[in-house]
Structure 1
Amino acid sequence: MANKENNPELTEILEKLSNVHYPSGPIRQSVERMKAHNCMQTNELEAIYHLVESHVPSLRMKTVLRYEKMLVSASDNAQLSLCKNHVAATCTNTKIGDNVNLMLAKIREMPPEWTLVQLTPHFNPKENVEIDPNKHYTNSLYISVFNCGTNQPKPFCVNIEAPRDSVTGSHVEFVNEIRSIISDNKSALTSTKVQTHFRGVPEKQNYFSKRQSLDDRLRILVRDLQNVYLKEWKCFMIGKYVNNDLEIKIQKRIKEFFKAEAPSFNLDEKTQSIVQYLVKGAQQLTLTEMRSAVQTLIPNSGANKTLQRNLGGFCRSLADELSLYEQKKHPLILIIDDSLDCFPWEMMDILVDVSVSRLPSLHLAYALFQEHKATIQNGFKIVQNPENGMYIVNPDLDLRNMQNRITSFYEYWLPSWQGVAGSKPTEEQFEKMLVSGDIFSYHGHGSGSHFFPLYKVERIRINAIVLLFGCGSTQLNIIGPQTEMFSTYQMYLIACSPCIVGMLWEVTDLDTDVLTTEFLSQWVPNSDKPHWKTLDKTQWKKGEKVDFSDKNLAVTSGNCIQEPELLKALSLAKKSHLLNFYLTRASCVARGIPVKIVK
C-alpha cells in the first residue's frame, strides 16, 4: 500500500466523512487509517496522529461517557474514573496542525524513561464485508515509535509489509494460526476439565502430546512473528538505556560516522533515529536483516553502496564496543491494536528478557500517567505498602488443589494479606478489596466478573494493582461484526487501575499457581523467612495444604534476589523451570504502566 502522494479523490471523500461528528468506533477507525495511508509520504507526523486516533475509539468514548455520568452523580469528595480530557477525541473542526501539536505535547509530558511502540494494521476493506467469524487477516503494519520526554526525536513511523511465504510468495495468515492454537488449547483443556486424574498412562501421554504439539506451534509462531513479520524492524522493540550517557554517545558516534563516510549525505532526524535503533538492536539482527534495513535507509545508488556496506559493520562494532546487549533498559510500553492483541509479543527473543507492558492506546497511557503522576518516580508507579494486599481464592468452590496451594503460599510468604478462600464473595466484599488494597489478586475461573459485574467495576476508583490469574482473564473477545473487541481489563483501566496482569487464553491450574507464586515471591519482599524459591514444594505441587513454617521442611540453598519492578519480576517468573507449558508462560501479560515497589 505504498503511496507517493495524496490521492485527491480519496482526500475529498475523507474530508466529507470528517464532517460526521461522533461516528461509530469501527467507522472512525477505518477513516483514520485511510487518512494515515493517504498522507504518510507527504506528512508523516500527521499520518502518525491519524494512526494514534484509530486505536480503540469506542473504548475512549466509553471512558468519556463514564466520566460524564460520574461527574453528574458524584459527591464533592468522590474519586472519578479516567479523566475524559485525556482520552477524548478532538472536534473534527480543529485544525490538523493543532491536533498534531497536542499529541506531541502529550509525548513530551510523559516520563522521559518511557518508550512507546505502536503497532497499527493497515486498513483492509475486506474486513468490512467479511461474514465468516473464523476468517481473519494478517495485514501490513505501521510501527510508530514515541520517545517520551523533552529534547527527544520526533515520533517516526515505518511500514511493514504483510508476511509472505519465502517459497510461494503467498500471504501467511498468522492471525488464523494464533486463533487456531487458542481454540485447540481450549478444546484440549475442556476435554479433561471434569477429571481429577488420568484413567491410565495412554490417556496421560495423549494429553501431554497434544499440549506439547500446541507449545511447538506457538513457539514457531513467535519465531515467525519476529523473523517473518517484523524482520529487521524488531529492533524498535528496545527501551531507553538506564545509563542515558549511552544514548548520547551512540547519537554522537552516528553523526561522526556519517561525517567521515558521507559528508554530503543528508542525515535527517528520522534516519538518525533509525540508525540508533539499528545500533541498539544489532546483536538481535541477522546479517540479512541488517542489510535490508540499511538498504531501506540509504538509496541504492553507486555512490552509496560503500556507505551501505560500512554502515552495517559500524552498527555491529559499536554495539559490541559499548556492550549494549548487557546494558539495563527502561521498560517498554507496546501500544497494540485490538486485532493484534492475541499475539504473545512479549515472548519474542528481543523482548523476553526485558520489562514490557501493553496498552491499547497512546491516549490511555497518557491518561494513566496523569491519574497517577503524583506517585510516579523515574517512570514507575510506586507501591509503598505491598503488605496491604487482598485476595480471592477458589470462589467457585471447584478448585480445591489450587486453593490449597495458593493459601499455603499466602500464609507463608504474605501473611499480612487478607482475603476470601473457598467461599463465594459478596459484591460488597469484592468491591471493598478492589478499593482498599494496594494489590488485589484473584484466583479462580475467568476474571471474577460473575461475582462483581463489570459495569460496577467501571463505576469505582481502583488504585490497586490488579492480578487476575484465571483462564482468559484479560483476553479480548470478538463480540460481533463492526464492533470493537471487549475485555475485562478495559473496565479496570477506566477505573484507573495502573496495571492489570492476566491471561490471554485458557491455562492449567498447577502451571498458573507456579507462575503466580514465582512472580509474587520475586516481586513482593519478605526478608523474615527463607525465600519461597528455596522451599521443597513436592507435596505442594500435588495439591496438598502445606505449612511451610514447619522447621522440618527441607530448604535448598540458593541466592534469591528480589525484583521490585513488576514487569521484570513477571518476566523472570515466566522463565521458571517449574513451569510445564510454554502456553502458560506466553499467556500471562501485563497491561498498564510500569510499577515498582519502594519501601
Structure 2
Amino acid sequence: MSSPTESALRELPSSRPSQHLGVDSQLQRNISYLGKHQFAPASPEQQQRGAPDLTKITLNKLLGRSRTKPRPPATLKQLETQLNEFFRVNQLNIAVSETTSIRKILAIVCIANGKELEACCHLIASHANCLRQQIFLRHLKSKLRADIIKQPMVLNLDPNHLDVDNRCSITSSKTVMSTVKKLPSEWYVVQVTAVHEPLKDSRHRIQNEEYSYLLKPTHGLHLVVIPTGENAIDPICITVPKPDGDSSYDLRTEIEKLLNNNKSDLTAVYCNKDLYWKMRKKQNDQMSIAIQELECSWLKEWKILFQADYIDNLDLVQDIHSMIDKLIADDNTSRKTISQRTRWLLKKIATSAWYLKSFEIERAVKYVLPTQKKLAKNIILSIIAKNKVIEPLKDAKRKVLLLILDECLDHISFESMQLLKHQPVTRFPSLHILYALFEQHKSSIKNGYKIVHHSDNIGTFIVNPSLDLMHMETRIRSFLNHWLPKWEGLYGIKPDIEFFKKALMQHEILMYNGHGSGVQFMKGEDIERMRVIASVLLFGCSSLKLLPVGGRQAPYGVSYQYLMACSPCILGMLWEVTDGDIDRMTAEFMSKWIPSKVKKPWSDVDKVSWNRGLIEYTNKDKKLTRTIIENEQDMLLAVAISKDVCKQFMTSAAIVMRGLPIKLVD
C-alpha cells in the first residue's frame, strides 16, 4: 500500500533513459534542482507555529509539485528507484562528486519515506568515495606488480571492506548491522555529513601560492550515531538545519577566513611585540567564538550526540535510564508506540542534561516526542528536576569517540568543543576505512584499544631536519635526552629514504618535529606502498591538513596515505602553529603517555630553564627522591589533557588524531 504522500502525487510519465551516466532526463532535472537548494527539517517550534517543513517543500518541488515552475510530478518511490538505478548501471569508477551527491539525495528521500536505516546507509556511503577508490587502485597496482614482475605484494587495507563497487556489500541496509556489531562495544561512533550541495560548489579551488578555503556559508548537517558491539541498535540520524539567518555572522566563513590568513599573520613582520601578541589574541578570540557558535548555534541541543556513553558512575546512569523507562510505562497512551530509537534519544538527553539549558532540554524532548505532549511534559519536568543529581556525570569517564567527518568539514575543530574537553577523540574519513583498519589490527585490539607494549627503545625521532628551527631543536633534544635517553634518532640531519622506511616499519612510534608533515623527505606515494607499523606523531605545521587538489576531487592529505599503509594512528596539526607552544605540548604529552625512569615528573621541570635547553627542577631537592609518576596509557586521553599547556587556543584547537585508539602498556 502506498503512503499518503505517494497517493497524493500523480504518476511520473515514462521518459527515455539518457546516455549520460545511465541517468534519465527526469532524474537529471531532479538532481539539478536539488543542487540549487539547501534544506533541513523544520524544528518542533516551527511546526507548532505552522511553519513549512523545508524538507517537504524541497521534495514537493523535486517531485514536480512546484507552483512556480510546473513539471510532471513523480512519487518519492519513483525518484528513489531512479537514483538507485544510477548505481546499478554504474557500479564502478563513476565520478566521485556525483556519487557523493546522489547518496545524499537518496538519504533525504529515504528520510521522507520513513526509512531511517536506509538513509543512514546512504550517508555512510557518501563519505570518502575518492579515497576508497584510490585504495582500491593502489591494491590493483600492487597485485599487477606481483603478477608481472614478481614484486612481493604489500597487504594493506582490504578493498573488499571499502564498498568501491557501489553495491555496499558491508554497509547496505541488509549488512550494516552485522558490520558494526563486529566493532568493539567500547567505541562510540558519530558521523557528521554536510547536506547536499550543488556540484558547482563542490569544486575545490587551488590558489597560485596558497591552499585556501572557499569561504562557504554554514549549512545543514546530518548527524548519524552508529552504535557498535554485539548489542548495537540501528544507526540514528538527526538532521540539524543551518543556523538562523538573522545574524550576519557565519561561523564557517569566519573560520575559513581566519585559516586562510593564519600563515601570513604568523609570518608577517611586526613593528613591536605588542602588535604581534594583539594579533594572536585576536586569532584566539575569533576561533574561540566560532567554536562556541558551533555548539550553541549550529549543533544546538544535538551537540549531546557527540557525548560518548559513560563507563563511570554507571549506577547513576542506570537510575536515569530507569526514570525514563518508568515515565514511558506510566503513560498508557504512548508506552506501546515508543520505539527503541525514541527511548535511546530520551535517555541520551537525560544523561546529558548537565550540559543543556532548560529550553534546550524542552526543545530536544519535543522533537523526539512531537505528538505525545503529556509524556513529553512529564519527561521534561523530571529531567530538569534531576539536573543537580545528573551533574556528577560531567566528570565521568566516557567511551572513545570516533568522529567520522565529511571531508568538507575536516578543518573544523570539533574536538575543541567544551563538551569534549579532556575526552578521547579520534577521526576517520569513513566507516569503511574505520572497519578496514580495524580488521588489519584486530588481533592486537583489546577492549577497544590497540595494545602497544612499551620498551626503552620503542620509538625513534626526526628533529629539525631542515636545520632552521634551532630553538625547537634545543628544547626537544634536552627533553628526549632527559626523558627518553634510549631513543635513537636524528637531530639537524636530513633523513634519507632508508632511515624513514626503517623508522616507520621497525618502530612502534615515530616522532617528527620539523616543517610540515615530512613528505619533503619521503613522498606520500612511497608511504602508500609500505606496511607501516609505527604510530606517527607529526608536530609540524598543517601536518594533518587536507589539501585541495583541484576540480571536483575531494581534498587529500598525507594522513590518508598513512591510513592506506595501515598506520594505526597519526597525530598532527590542522593548520599552522608556532614552535614554542607546540613544543610545550609535545613534551607534556610524551611525558604523560610514555613512561620514563627519571625520578621526578615533567611538571616539576622549570620551563624557563628548559627553554634554554637546561633541565632544572622547580623544587630544589638535592637528593632527588624518586616520585611515583602516573602515566596515562590511553594515547587519545593523554593528548586531550596535554592540550591544556598550550598558551594559544589556536594551537590546542589545531591538534587532532586520526586512526585507532592506542594504549601503551608495560
Q: Would you say same fold, with TM above 0.5?
A: yes
Give me the whole-angstrom Cα distance separating, in 2, the residues matched to 1:134 and 1:77.
43
State the AA in 2 paired with 1:49: C
CA RMSD of aligned residues (A): 2.7
Residue of 93, 106, 109 corresponding to 2:182? 109
The match for 1:39 among 110, 116, 134 is 110
Cα distance per residue 1:193-227 (max 9 Å; x no partner): xxxxx7xxx51000010110010000000000000
**Structure 1 residues 214-293: aligned runs within 5 Å:** 214-243=283-312, 249-265=319-335, 266-293=337-364
Decide which of 200, 206, 226 is 1:146's aligned counterpart. Answer: 226
Residues 172-187 of structure 1 correspond to what in structure 2 (within 5 A)?
173-187=250-264
What are the within-5 Å matches in structure 2 for residues 110-509 of structure 1? Answer: 110-125=183-198, 127-128=200-201, 134-165=214-245, 168=246, 173-192=250-269, 203-243=272-312, 249-265=319-335, 266-299=337-370, 304-318=372-386, 320-321=388-389, 323-385=392-454, 387=456, 388-509=458-579
Taking a change above 3 Å as real, the CA distance of residues 246 and 111 of structure 1, as seen in their structure-2 partners, is farther
CA deviation map 1:364-409 (0-9, x unaligned):
1111111111111110011102531010000011000001111111
For 1:464 and 1:499, the matched residues in 2 are separated by 8
Which one of 142, 148, 156 corresponds to residue 70 of structure 1? 142
Give the deviation of 1:484 after TM superposition: 0.7
Alignment partners' CA distance in 2, 1:315 and 1:214: 38
Residues 463, 262 of structure 1: CA spacing in aligned structure 2 closer, same or farther, 3 A cutoff?
A: farther
1:468-514 Cα shifts (integer Å, max 9, x gaps): 00000000112223111111100000000111000000000100100
* Secondary structure of the structure 2 residue equivalent to 1:480: coil
Equivalent residues of 2:226, 2:236 under 8 A apart: yes
How big is each residue's C-alpha offset from its partner over 1:155-174, in whole Å with a ceiling of 9 and x where there is no partner?
Answer: 11001001124xx267x533
CA distance, structure 1, for counterparts of residue 585 and residue 310 of structure 2: 28
Range 505-514 or range 19-28, more displaced:
19-28
CA distance in 2, matches of 1:164, 1:91: 36
Superposition deviation, residue 314 in structure 1:
2.4
For the 8 Å contact 1:502–1:590, the answer to whether it is kept is yes
How far, CA to CA, are the matches of 1:85 and 1:126 in structure 2? 28
CA separation in 2, counterparts of 1:175 and 1:215?
16
Superposed structure 1 runs of 4+ greater than 6 Å apart: 129-133, 549-559
Paired AA for residue 361 in structure 2: M
Between the two proteins, the alignment pairs up a number of residues equal to: 579
| CA distance in 2 between partners of 1:279 and 1:174 (Å) | 28
* Counterpart-to-counterpart distance in 2, 1:483 and 1:130: 7
String of CA shifts for 1:516-553, please: whole Å, max 9, x gaps: 11111111111432111111121322xx3325699979
User: 1:138 & 1:262 partners in 2: Cα distance?
Assistant: 42
State the AA in 1 paired with 2:518: G
Q: In 2 relative to 1, CA 8–378 (structure 1 residues): closer, same or farther, beyond 3 Å?
A: closer
Whole-Å separation in 1 of the counterparts to 2:203 and 2:360: 35
Corresponding residue SS for 1:390: strand
One-letter code aligned to 1:592: G
**1-side partners of 2:302 and 2:619: how far apart?**
53
State which drifts further: 526-535 or 321-330: 321-330
3-state SS of paired residue (2:157): coil
Aligned equivalents of 2:494 and 2:463: distance in 1? 9
Gaps of 5+ in 1: 193-197
Give the secondary-structure state (helix, strand or coil) at the position aligned to 2:239: strand
1:88: how far off? Answer: 3.0
Aligned twin of 1:49: 121
Residue 89 of structure 1: which of 130, 141, 164 is its match? 164
**Change in 2 beyond 3 A, CA 1:559/1:551:** closer
SS of alignment partner, residue 225 of structure 1: helix
What residue number does 2:23 align with? Answer: none
C-alpha distance in 1, partners of 2:661/2:202? Answer: 39
Q: Structure 1 residues 548, 439: CA separation in 2 closer, same or farther (over 3 Å shift)?
A: farther
Q: Identify which of 578, 587, 600 aligns with 1:530.
A: 600
Shift of 1:184: 2.1
CA distance 1:506–1:436, shift in 2 (3 Å): same
1:90 CA displacement: 4.2
SS of 2:308's equivalent in the other structure is coil
Structure of higher CA gyration radius: 2
> Which residue among 591, 594, 599 is the counterpart of 1:521?
591
- Give the Cα separation in 1 of the matches to 2:527 and 2:620: 44
In 1, are the aligned partners of 2:633 and 2:664 still within 8 Å (CA)?
A: yes
Hey, what's the Cα distance between the residues in 1 that align with 2:648 and 2:605? Answer: 22
For 2:219, the aligned partner's letter is: N
1:218–1:205 Cα change, 3 Å: same
Where do 5+ consecutive residues of structure 2 fail to align?
Answer: 1-38, 42-54, 60-74, 206-212
The match for 1:195 is none
Q: Using the alignment, how far apart are the partners of 1:401 and 1:408 within structure 2?
A: 11
383-392 vs 414-423, greater mean Cα deviation: 383-392
Task: State the one-letter code of the partner of 2:239.
Answer: N
Residue 570 (structure 1) aligned to one of 639, 659, 662:
639
Residues 327 and 375, structure 2, Cα contact 8 Å, conserved in 1: no
Q: Distance in 1 between matches of 2:625 and 2:282?
A: 33
Contact 2:403/2:427, CA 8 A, preserved across alignment: yes
In the alignment, the residues of structure 1 paired with residue 171 and residue 606 of structure 2 have an alpha-carbon distance, to the nearest angstrom, of 61
Give, in angstroms, the shift of residue 40 of structure 1.
1.2
| Cα shift at 1:321 | 3.5
- Name the CA distance, whole Å, in 2 between partners of 1:340 and 1:558: 44
